[in-house]
Amino acid sequence: MPASPPLFAPDGDLNALGLMSGTSLDGVDAALIRTDGISVTAHGPSLTLPYPAHIRQNLRQLLDRAPTLTPDNAALKEAEHALTLVHVQAVQRLRELAPDWTVDVVGFHGQTILHQPGRTWQIGDAACLSAQTDLPVVHDFRSADVAAGGEGAPLVPLYHAALLRNRPYPVAALNIGGVANLTLVTRDGHILACDTGPGNALLDDWAYQHTGIPCDTNGQLARQGTADPALVDRLLAHPFFHKPAPKSLDRMSFHSALAQVGALGAADGAATLTAFTAQSIARTLLPEQPREWFVCGGGRHNPALMAALAQALPGTLYPAEQLGWNGDALEAECFGFLAVRSLAGLPLSLPTTTGVPSPQTGGRLTCMSITPWARRLWPGAHTNSPPPPHSD
């Protein structure tokens, strides 16, 4: 049976508000973009709304327990409701910050609590978010890719590629969140992507264990220590690093590394984990080496990590701001971009980004009220007329 036609094929740009709660568990990023799902014509304001300490702690506990949880678990539902309300606040505050932007759609990633081959699990109540904001919400971006045989991650590559189209190829975008991932645009314009290994997650957890601070601020701890090269090599012997792209992993995939560096002091452990993170990125198996690397995500704020990357990577390393990007808002912008692609029936993933057998769209739409956006789709929406059915 042929695929259903797109719900909405934009005849122009939409204003999309993207939301991202990453594996670093630091809070909700929200950003506005104007896009048709192919190119981006405007970048709007953005903000980050930090999670209160109790929500962050509850999410950390869920990550540890996720493989054994069921969707009706009381602690899970409580955490899901709490994080959804933080997303509601982020939407409300960004709309107040940007009153001239009429939001057409929200792209809501939710919080990943488990990601394994054949299984991905994001929590977040899209119906609550839609009802509280009076906006249509596209969500559940990953499950269609997994159901079709892909790994469900990374999903940011198509957005990276849209932003990189005017750079000389080969070129790479490197996103360092809790997990690090890269997008390579090859000489002939093909897109290849993968998770590379740990990003900030191990460093954040190590810093929290030893200092009570949720990250190694400015790389201060790592810069006071000395990396153990033999231990770095042992960590790099993990089978994941010998797999070609595309490939993906979970925030907890390398959690055992914390125990392996456990005998080191706080500073030497941070230095070793920083070297491990940098080397895992540099040793990613790629068909071509990029001329330029543009780094986004929270990891670019860590001078120790950036120095290690500059030494390890071929080509020239730049922060995302070198291109005028907002490196802290990029993933949130991405899910606004993907929300519009979802509405238009465009692919969110490719065989070379997630391993899915063929280009795959995805996402689900939740709209809890009759909005002006809905009336644009269905002129009879203000009456009792149903929307027109999709034809097969």
- 26 is annotated as contributing to ligand binding: yes
For 100, counting Cβ atoms within 10 Å of its Cβ (0-12 exposed, 13-18 middle, 19+ buried), the class is exposed
For 212, counting Cβ atoms within 10 Å of its Cβ (0-12 exposed, 13-18 middle, 19+ buried), the class is exposed
245 touches 175 (CB < 8 A): no
- 177 is annotated as contributing to ligand binding: no
- 348 is annotated as contributing to ligand binding: no
136 part of a folded domain: yes
Q: Pull the structure tokens for residue 170.
A: 């080969």
pLDDT value, residue 384: 45
d(CA 171, CA 169): 5
340 part of a folded domain: yes
269 part of a folded domain: yes
- 233 is annotated as contributing to ligand binding: no
pLDDT value, residue 4: 43
- Shared domain for 73 and 169, answered yes or no, is no
- Shared domain for 67 and 119, answered yes or no, is yes
- Shared domain for 168 and 303, answered yes or no, is yes
- Shared domain for 126 and 145, answered yes or no, is yes
Q: What is the CATH number of the domain that holds 133?
A: 3.30.420.40
383 part of a folded domain: no
pLDDT value, residue 368: 83
Of 300, 323, 346, which one is at a domain's C-terminal end? Answer: 323
- Shared domain for 108 and 211, answered yes or no, is no
- Shared domain for 293 and 368, answered yes or no, is no
For 215, counting Cβ atoms within 10 Å of its Cβ (0-12 exposed, 13-18 middle, 19+ buried), the class is buried
Domain coverage including residue 226: 157-323
pLDDT value, residue 47: 98
Of 281, 301, 323, which one is at a domain's C-terminal end? Answer: 323
- Shared domain for 184 and 303, answered yes or no, is yes
Residue 149 has a CB neighbour count (10 Å cut-off) of 14
- 22 is annotated as contributing to ligand binding: yes
2 part of a folded domain: no
pLDDT value, residue 55: 96
- Shared domain for 335 and 297, answered yes or no, is no
- 27 is annotated as contributing to ligand binding: yes
d(CA 123, CA 335): 15
- Shared domain for 316 and 340, answered yes or no, is no
| Residue among 379, 378, 349, 339 nearest 36 (CA) | 339
- Shared domain for 57 and 95, answered yes or no, is yes
Of 323, 346, 365, which one is at a domain's C-terminal end? Answer: 323
Taking phi over 0 as left and psi of -120 to 50 as alpha, with beta for the rest, 297 belongs to left
- What radius of gyration do the chain's Cα atoms show? 21
390 part of a folded domain: no
387 part of a folded domain: no
pLDDT averaged per 10 residues, the chain (length 392): 48 91 90 96 97 94 91 95 98 98 96 89 97 96 96 95 94 94 96 94 94 94 98 96 89 87 97 98 95 95 97 95 92 98 96 97 89 57 45 38
Bridge pairing between strands 292-296 and 171-176: parallel
Instruction: Report how many domains make up the chain.
Output: 2
Q: What are phi and psi of 51, to 5 degrees?
A: -75, 140
40 part of a folded domain: yes
- 145 is annotated as contributing to ligand binding: no
- 258 is annotated as contributing to ligand binding: no
- Shared domain for 83 and 67, answered yes or no, is yes
- Shared domain for 315 and 195, answered yes or no, is yes
pLDDT value, residue 12: 76
